[in-house]
Chain A
Amino acid sequence: MFTCDPPVAPSDATRPLLPGPGPPARVTMTAAAAAVSGRPLTMSRKRLQQLVDALGHSTKHFNKGEVECLIKLFDKLVAESSSRFAAAGFDRNMFRDILHSAFGMTDEMIMDRVFRTFDRDNNSCISVVEWVEGLSVFLRGTMEEKIKYCFEVYDLNGDGYISREEMFQMLKNCLLKQPSEEDPDEGIKDLVDIAMKKMDYDHDGKLSFKDFEKAVRDETLLLEAFGPCLPDIKSRMAFEQKTFRESS
């Protein structure tokens, strides 16, 4: 069951350019990164304040208090783990545990993709900045941000298109196996056809970002068409309540 890598190996050089982070985020990221570098486990009051200020500007969906809560949560989780990355942030496994326990996500491949989407600088470690900015979209993103985010998750090889094969990969565990079926993949292929027919507006046999965006604007349900990659309302509210109330 454990599928960690998509069939087409992603190369770091071909990170998706399309839905990349906007320019203001870039600026503050460097500023915040300065504050992070060489950060000890317990941050000094002043540094924390700097980080909060920096992130408070870059993420428009959280206020300063909330940013502070998220940073504290990050520190707490990092401190609890004994991973070798602990000083810098979450590694893949830690992050997957968080996604599973806090947001009830189960699909290994999707969780892996969420990790990669959060991990903007591709160093296989999610820093505090990536954590806060990622959650900003994850929890409170606008429709536009969410469409970008989901497309990025589903575009397994990061080439800017969701191909038939990628769809097949994502949907292959969708159906209850029926013993009567001789070729179990047949049903999945049909499902891919159905999805393609529904969303491929320009009939080029793959989904571009434009196709995906149009399909979602048309029918919001298709936002998470290839697997749940956003928290549902209940776990989202539970998470926010727990995180923001606990420490404020």
Chain B
Amino acid sequence: MGAALARAAQWTAAGSGTGTLEITPLNESLLNQIIKFVEDFSARHPREAAFVFKEPLEWKTQLDCSAFGNGYEITEATVQSEAKAKDGQSLLLLTKSTLRVRSFDQLSHVLQIAMEKKLKEVQACLEANRDPIVQILGPEYGTVEGEDRSILHLLEKVKKGGDPETEVKMKIFLLLHQLDLQLLNSSLKQISQDVRLNPAAVNNEVNLLKNFSEEGEDTVLESLEYTSDYVFSNGCRAPPWRQVHGEICYLVINPHDTDPLCITCSTAGVFLNGGQIDGKDHIDYERKSDVYKDIVTFLRERSPKFVENMAKQEYRFFKEPTYAKNFQRMGVVEAKVSGQSQSLHDFVEKKVGEKVKSSASRRAIEKKKLEPSMRWKNAGLSVLHRKKHITAKAARKDAEEDRRRSSTVSPKIKKKGNGISSESAKIQPASKRKTSARFNNVSESSSETEEDEEQPVRHHEGGTDLPSEYWGIQKLAKYLKGGNPTATVIALCSMKDFNLAQETCQMAIRDIGCLEVLINLLDTEEIKCQIGSLKILKEISQNTLIRHAIADLGGLEIMVKILDSLDRELKCLAAETIANVARFKRAQRTVRQHGGIKRLVGLLGCDAVGSTSLTPYQAKDTEMARCGALALWSCSKSTKNKEAIRKAGGIPLLARWLKCSHANILTPVVGTLQECASTPSYRLAIKTEGMIEYLVKNLSSEHEELQMHCASAIFKCAEDKETRDLVRQHGGLQPLSVLLANSENKQLLAAVTGAIWKCAISEENVAKFREYKVIETLVGLLTDQPEEVLVNIVGALGECCQESVNRSTIRRCGGIPPLVKLLTGTNQALLVNVTKTVGACATEPETMIIIDRLDGVRLLWSLLKNPNPDIQASAAWAICPCIDNAKDAGEMVRSFVGGLELVVNLLKSKNKEVLASVCGAITNIAKDEENLAVITDHGVVPLLSKLANTNNDKLRRHLAEAISNCCMWGRNRVAFGESNAVAPLVRYLRSNDPSVHRATAQALYQLSEDPNNCITMHENGVVKLLLPMVGSTDETLQEAAAGCIANIRRLALATEKAKYG
């Protein structure tokens, strides 16, 4: 039912997240069908009904505990079903008003109990679980647009092993799928009856009615007015927060025979609203009548006089309809008798006049196009003027002379000319590096800012020293502007012979006004002209300025339209040009908004994948897919485009092309995938669609760029454990370690080390890496690398360090000194990783000696001053093992001037992780009595006590340990009691985490040495909580719990003794 819910149901707030289901007839019928399905489910499919959901469906219910009867255990505020899942959890659990249900059996039971509240309950349930299939079957079955493979995977599983659970899953999936289809079908019926009004239609109707409205008997209405004069750019008059509900505008209508009617025009139709309140400013938006399909239908229903006067048909036109003006045509083409010149004229007219209809900015361009060389005019070289008298050839000669003259006569201008050439020299290499430009942003390519990453370079205007290319291109431009398709094609082919990769030519084309003509050519029906134009645009769009100019001139919209063409070559060229142009955010957005993503994904949809030897037809298909993938790659830099690609069903197609063996198509495909892998849905798809296997395979490709994108995709995906396992199972760890040898290509190295880092999170992978001697290689790479490589290397070492063998390997290879040296760096991500790795290494006493000798602890300690909380936390964690393992740790800590005060003050941080890590550090510091005395003076006790009221188990554990160790000094025990730390600690024993229990029991044991604390603990019911812990298998916990109880008991005995002598 996922698809139906996502598409058909009408949610109030668009997009994902929390929305509510509106109560509309459509939604009601959807809900009723779902209710019927669920109610009948347990009777019809008893076996499937017993299936336990992967995650419970959870929602706020309005049902009362008392409603539950037989089969449920009811206590004060909770209801549990007697039926339990295998793991012992109840299939239904109601606590406060939160209901958790884990099987269809229970679901249908709930609905039976709910009686008339059924609808509300289902609504609440679906609002809280937007895609219930995910809860029921697991995230891999979530609703995806486009081709859905999950059922196929499932089918394979069923085929392989006769696991009855998979079979049941399969059946449930099919049943839900059936329901989904049924829902969609019925909603389609509903929707097809719906009317969709739009602002233009409403406006037309209002204008029409206005013409027939006036005071007097014969008119249809007395008056009809909008409530608001302000029109938003989308044509609506309703305020934006009402537009969300589909409302377009509000009208006050004065019919002849009834009171004024205040109506709402919405996309769903026309209805009566609550009328204007407090004069004119406010409208009661509530719907008060049925919905009608338009204003006339509404009025027919409401005003008999309206119907009557309409029937008379004696209309007088009161005023000229305002919109009629729009029908006036702009230019009239002089009609020619000969069909031939007619068609030529049409063509040229189209090229030049096409854009007159669009916006003012376009018109400005138009002007520029007709009179292309404004600059030249300024420079005193008015071409038009000149052409009258002399031929173009002569003009050229003349201009050269002019130039020579200007260069000799005025040295000042010459200097200016030099300025330009040096600047263009600067830009040129940038435009030539077309592939390496893509490399640049491997690591942060997916930065999600909406700023343009590509700022157009301002170009010098008004240069006087025009290169000879200008003349050549100027001459050809004449034929582009004033020629028929044949002349245009000759001119285009000839223009292609200029060196279009050269900045001068690119700028000449732009400045002469050719760019506009080239783009207008795309908008003609002449395929040959379109192809010729695109061949030039494709080349010159390597230049940033041209890219922006093309986007400004509306070229992207036309190219997107061309993607629908029948001609394959044309489609390929359009896609390739889009790939070049869409390197900046605005262009990427434009492509999406004009439906480009869907069409580009369409280019991938052909069937040449599996074959190795290609027929010419398939070769063209492959070429088309390559161009499509290139364009998608450019577009996929934007988050919304990633989503759009997914919605257009791009993932399965990319997955299919991933299986082919042509590097020229694999590179853009993998490039797109790795770009998109920054979003979770792609990562899931990459895992479940079996793409990891092919990513691994292509790690061994011959193309470094492809290798890099594969590694980078693995880097992004391997955060997930199953993915890491898949990489290993497909033998990906070995090629990764081999690639480390190629340390020249830094982008590749960054991607590879990143992949190794993330893969090393799994122990099994670390074992493999050890086998391939990766740790030694990584240590060897610790010097002289760019920071983005170092971050990954150190991260990888940090993961490997979880095992003692590897820690000693790092030490043996001499990895500690470079690591400690990196502690002095400034890169935040690097510092987080380095501190973590150094901390992990410090757990070995032998390594600790080296760190101590290099003054590493002092460096770590200084990082506590870093403003970044991640670094603070990571440094504090690293300090813990250092203190633990250093010789004369107490002396060492004291030697850091102001160090202890710094640590204590960090307890004021807001960040939970920082707090937990600092508590950890304090636990270790407090082991030294003298240092404990110092931190006590700095006020550690009240600061720790203040933190006691937390729900974070990690913090609880370390806080309890810190409190326990800090009790050892002076009257700290009493002080903890006075600052109210004891009662919260007792509550920690209710936590689910055994390590919290242990730390808490120890702290309580220490605190119970003070009688007042014992009383507080007893009052908070500590004994009942501690008693079961005495029976724990954890000896430390056992002892601490017993000790605490003993202290309390002793106090009680002493009191009794004192009382009764």
Q: Are A171 and B486 in contact (CB under 8 A)?
A: yes
Q: Which residues of B contact A171 (CB under 8 A)?
A: 486-487, 490
Q: Are A106 and B343 in contact (CB under 8 A)?
A: yes
> CB-defined interface of A226-241 with B at 8 Å, one 1/0 digit per residue?
1110001110010000
Q: Are A108 and B340 in contact (CB under 8 A)?
A: yes
Q: Are A225 and B486 in contact (CB under 8 A)?
A: yes
Q: Are A176 and B344 in contact (CB under 8 A)?
A: yes
State in angstroms the CA–CA spacing of A107 and B338 once bound together: 10
State in angstroms the CA–CA spacing of A227 and B344 once bound together: 12
Q: Are A1 and B340 in contact (CB under 8 A)?
A: yes
Expressed in whole angstroms, the minimum distance between the Cβ of A222 and any Cβ of chain B is 6
From 194 to 231 in chain A, residues with beta carbon under 8 angstroms from any chain B beta carbon are 194-195, 197-198, 219, 221-222, 224-228
Complex: chain B residue closest to A174, CB-CB: B487
State in angstroms the CA–CA spacing of A234 and B387 once bound together: 40
Stretch from B441-449, B474-482, B588-596, B925-933 that touches the partner: B474-482
Answer whether residue A144 sits at the interface, using C-beta atoms and an 8 A cutoff.
no
Q: Are A1 and B341 in contact (CB under 8 A)?
A: yes
Expressed in whole angstroms, the minimum distance between the Cβ of B103 and any Cβ of chain A is 58
Expressed in whole angstroms, the minimum distance between the Cβ of A114 and any Cβ of chain B is 15
State in angstroms the CA–CA spacing of A199 and B112 once bound together: 85
Q: Are A174 and B493 in contact (CB under 8 A)?
A: no
Stretch from B458-466, B510-518, B526-534, B982-990 that touches the partner: B526-534
Complex: chain A residue closest to B526, CB-CB: A232
Answer whether residue B392 sits at the interface, using C-beta atoms and an 8 A cutoff.
yes
Of the residues A108, A221, A228, contact of B531 by C-beta under 8 Å = A221
Of the residues A1, A187, A195, contact of B490 by C-beta under 8 Å = A195
Of A176, A228, A234, chain B has the most CB atoms within 10 Å of the CB of A176
Answer whether residue A182 sits at the interface, using C-beta atoms and an 8 A cutoff.
yes
Q: Are A228 and B340 in contact (CB under 8 A)?
A: no
From 1 to 18 in chain A, residues with beta carbon under 8 angstroms from any chain B beta carbon are 1
Q: Are A221 and B492 in contact (CB under 8 A)?
A: yes
Answer whether residue B566 sits at the interface, using C-beta atoms and an 8 A cutoff.
yes
Answer whether residue B618 sits at the interface, using C-beta atoms and an 8 A cutoff.
no
Answer whether residue A190 sits at the interface, using C-beta atoms and an 8 A cutoff.
yes
Q: Are B483 and A224 in contact (CB under 8 A)?
A: no
Q: Are A186 and B497 in contact (CB under 8 A)?
A: no
Q: Which residues of A contact B388 (CB under 8 A)?
A: 180, 182
Complex: chain A residue closest to B476, CB-CB: A194
Q: Are A221 and B486 in contact (CB under 8 A)?
A: no
What's the tally of chain A residues with a CB closer than 8 Å to chain B? 32
Q: Which residues of B contact A232 (CB under 8 A)?
A: 527
Whether A233 touches B487, Cβ cut-off 8 Å, given contacts A175-B479, A182-B388, is no
Whether A226 touches B486, Cβ cut-off 8 Å, given contacts A107-B340, A176-B345, is yes
Q: Are A227 and B486 in contact (CB under 8 A)?
A: yes
Q: Are B490 and A191 in contact (CB under 8 A)?
A: yes
Expressed in whole angstroms, the minimum distance between the Cβ of B999 and any Cβ of chain A is 78
Answer whether residue B567 sits at the interface, using C-beta atoms and an 8 A cutoff.
yes
Of the residues B483, B496, B535, contact of A174 by C-beta under 8 Å = B483
State in angstroms the CA–CA spacing of A225 and B489 once bound together: 7
State in angstroms the CA–CA spacing of A186 and B339 once bound together: 24
Q: Are A194 and B494 in contact (CB under 8 A)?
A: yes
Expressed in whole angstroms, the minimum distance between the Cβ of A179 and any Cβ of chain B is 11
Answer whether residue A173 sits at the interface, using C-beta atoms and an 8 A cutoff.
yes
Answer whether residue A42 sits at the interface, using C-beta atoms and an 8 A cutoff.
no
Q: Are A219 and B496 in contact (CB under 8 A)?
A: yes
Complex: chain B residue closest to A104, CB-CB: B343
Expressed in whole angstroms, the minimum distance between the Cβ of B391 and any Cβ of chain A is 6
Q: Which residues of A contact B491 (CB under 8 A)?
A: 191, 194
Answer whether residue B754 sits at the interface, using C-beta atoms and an 8 A cutoff.
no
Q: How many A-B residue pairs have CB under 8 A?
A: 90
Of the residues B391, B485, B567, contact of A233 by C-beta under 8 Å = B567
From 685 to 708 in chain B, residues with beta carbon under 8 angstroms from any chain A beta carbon are none
State in angstroms the CA–CA spacing of A192 and B492 once bound together: 14
Q: Are B387 and A233 in contact (CB under 8 A)?
A: no
Q: Are B391 and A186 in contact (CB under 8 A)?
A: yes
Q: Which residues of A contact B566 (CB under 8 A)?
A: 233-234, 237
Answer whether residue A123 sits at the interface, using C-beta atoms and an 8 A cutoff.
no
Q: Are B486 and A174 in contact (CB under 8 A)?
A: yes
> CB-defined interface of B149-165 with A at 8 Å, one 1/0 digit per residue?
00000000000000000
Answer whether residue A82 sits at the interface, using C-beta atoms and an 8 A cutoff.
no
Answer whether residue A178 sits at the interface, using C-beta atoms and an 8 A cutoff.
yes
Q: Which residues of A contact B387 (CB under 8 A)?
A: 180
Q: Which residues of B contact A187 (CB under 8 A)?
A: 478-479, 482
Of the residues B384, B476, B489, contact of A221 by C-beta under 8 Å = B489
Q: Are A1 and B338 in contact (CB under 8 A)?
A: yes
> CB-defined interface of A152-188 with B at 8 Å, one 1/0 digit per residue?
0000000000000000000101111010101000110
From 87 to 116 in chain A, residues with beta carbon under 8 angstroms from any chain B beta carbon are 106-108
Complex: chain B residue closest to A178, CB-CB: B482
Whether A175 touches B482, Cβ cut-off 8 Å, given contacts A106-B340, A198-B497, is yes
Q: Which residues of A contact B493 (CB under 8 A)?
A: 198, 219, 221-222, 225
Q: Are B487 and A191 in contact (CB under 8 A)?
A: yes
State in angstroms the CA–CA spacing of A60 and B391 once bound together: 51
State in angstroms the CA–CA spacing of A180 and B478 once bound together: 14
Expressed in whole angstroms, the minimum distance between the Cβ of B353 and any Cβ of chain A is 12
State in angstroms the CA–CA spacing of A101 and B489 once bound together: 24
Q: Are B339 and A106 in contact (CB under 8 A)?
A: yes
State in angstroms the CA–CA spacing of A221 and B534 once bound together: 12
Q: Are A176 and B567 in contact (CB under 8 A)?
A: no
Whether A224 touches B486, Cβ cut-off 8 Å, given contacts A106-B339, A237-B566, is yes
Q: Are B483 and A175 in contact (CB under 8 A)?
A: yes
Q: Which residues of B contact A106 (CB under 8 A)?
A: 339-340, 343
Expressed in whole angstroms, the minimum distance between the Cβ of A109 and any Cβ of chain B is 10
Answer whether residue B600 sits at the interface, using C-beta atoms and an 8 A cutoff.
no
Q: Are A198 and B486 in contact (CB under 8 A)?
A: no
Answer whether residue B1029 sits at the interface, using C-beta atoms and an 8 A cutoff.
no
Complex: chain A residue closest to B336, CB-CB: A1
Q: Which residues of A contact B527 (CB under 8 A)?
A: 232-233
Of B392, B483, B490, B527, chain A has the most CB atoms within 10 Å of the CB of B490
State in angstroms the CA–CA spacing of A8 and B528 once bound together: 30
Of the residues A1, A180, A228, contact of B485 by C-beta under 8 Å = A228
Of the residues B338, B490, B535, contact of A198 by C-beta under 8 Å = B490
Answer whether residue B187 sits at the interface, using C-beta atoms and an 8 A cutoff.
no
Interface residues of B (CB under 8 A from A): 338-341, 343-345, 348, 384, 387-388, 391-392, 475-476, 478-479, 482-487, 489-494, 496-497, 527-528, 531-532, 535, 566-567
A-B contact pairs, 9 of them (CB 8 A): A174-B486, A187-B479, A191-B491, A194-B475, A194-B490, A198-B494, A221-B492, A221-B535, A237-B566
The 3 closest A-B pairs by CB, nearest first: A174-B487, A1-B338, A176-B482
Question: Given A1-B341, A107-B340, 18 other A-B contacts at CB below 8 A?
Answer: A174-B479, A174-B483, A176-B344, A176-B345, A180-B384, A180-B387, A180-B388, A191-B479, A194-B476, A194-B490, A195-B490, A195-B494, A198-B493, A219-B493, A224-B486, A225-B489, A225-B490, A237-B566
